[in-house]
């Protein structure tokens, strides 16, 4: 029995590429292709594939959300996040959501196939080459909900006073949160806090 695979990516070119890569393997069968996270969840339910190759960035529902939804319904789901490197935070979140693997898009087709087989067999592919090392050198940073909220508003260019109004708190509170954020990120000004958080995937523009 072949390994049944579902792909989820909003770029047709990427879907085509994965289809082409999989087509060469006799024992791997592409059962469906989703174009966004919501569709991925629906198609997973409909086909119950052995492995899901999921993009992180998608419309409607992103890869993290789709992974959470699928794993919630089927704890045994084998999902591989296949994306470009967008910061260590996304890796933590993907694995935290239940992903069994994390592949970078600059890997060769052979690596994709290899990963599908490994994950289908119940294994995990926590990038031994790339992410693993990056993760070693970048201590994990956990911001609280409030800190994340304040940082997000800071990224929009709001002043402490306006952030305070936005969240219904005093400016002193906002300053305290931002101070903690800067400490955790190891920087000493709001602009650096924002760019570092963006690089590490802790926050996103949009």
Binding site for DNA (CB under 7 A): 142, 144-147, 159-161, 167, 169-173, 175-180, 182, 188-191
Q: How far apart are CA 48 and CA 26, in angstroms?
A: 20
Task: Give me the least distance between CB of 162 and DNA, in Å please.
Answer: 8
Strands 51-54 vs 101-104: parallel, antiparallel or unpaired: unpaired
Task: Give me the least distance between CB of 5 and DNA, in Å please.
Answer: 38
What are 101's two structure tokens? 């693997």
Q: How far apart are CA 160 and CA 61, in angstroms?
A: 31
Task: Give me the least distance between CB of 185 and DNA, in Å please.
Answer: 11
Task: Give me the least distance between CB of 59 and its own copies, in Å please.
Answer: 9
| SS3 state at 144 | coil
Task: Give me the least distance between CB of 93 and DNA, in Å please.
Answer: 16
Q: How far apart are CA 19 and CA 202, in angstroms?
A: 31
- The entry of its own copies, DNA, none that residue 107 binds, CB within 5 to 8 Å by partner kind: its own copies
Contact assessment for residue 44 and residue 70, using Cβ atoms and an 8 Å cutoff: yes
117 versus 146: smaller Cβ distance to DNA: 146
- The entry of its own copies, DNA, none that residue 145 binds, CB within 5 to 8 Å by partner kind: DNA
Q: How far apart are CA 129 and CA 206, in angstroms?
A: 30
Is 157 a residue that touches its own copies (CB under 8 A)?
yes
Site string for its own copies, 110-149 (x = CB under 8 A): --x-------------------------------------
What are 135's two structure tokens? 């993760």
145 versus 206: smaller Cβ distance to DNA: 145
**Centroid of chain to Cα 136:** 18
- Name the H helices within 102-144: 109-120, 131-137
Q: How far apart are CA 101 and CA 94, in angstroms?
A: 9
176 versus 198: smaller Cβ distance to DNA: 176
Site residues for its own copies, window 5-34 (CB under 8 A)? 10-21
Which residues here bind its own copies, judged by CB under 8 A?
10-21, 82, 84, 105-109, 112, 154-157, 159, 187-196, 198-199, 205
């Amino acid at each position: 029995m072949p390994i049944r695979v579902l792909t989820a990516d909003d770029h047709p070119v990427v879907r085509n590429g994965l289809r082409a890569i999989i087509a060469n393997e006799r024992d791997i069968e592409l059962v469906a292709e989703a174009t966004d996270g919501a569709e991925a969840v629906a198609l997973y339910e409909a086909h119950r594939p052995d492995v899901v190759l999921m993009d992180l960035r998608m419309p409607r529902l992103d890869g993290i959300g789709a992974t959470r939804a699928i794993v919630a319904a089927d704890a045994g789901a084998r999902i591989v996040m296949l994306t470009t490197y967008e910061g260590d935070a996304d890796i933590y979140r993907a694995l935290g959501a239940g992903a069994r693997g994390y592949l970078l898009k600059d890997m060769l087709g052979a690596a994709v196939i290899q990963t599908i087989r490994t994950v289908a067999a119940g294994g995990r592919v926590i990038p031994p080459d790339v992410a693993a090392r990056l993760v070693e050198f970048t201590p994990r940073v956990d911001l609280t909900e409030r800190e994340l909220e304040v940082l997000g508003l800071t990224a929009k260019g709001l002043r402490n006073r306006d952030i305070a109004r936005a969240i219904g708190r005093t400016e002193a509170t906002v300053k305290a949160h931002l101070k903690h954020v800067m400490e955790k990120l190891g920087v000493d000004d709001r602009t650096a806090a924002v760019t570092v958080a963006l690089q590490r995937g802790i926050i996103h523009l949009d």
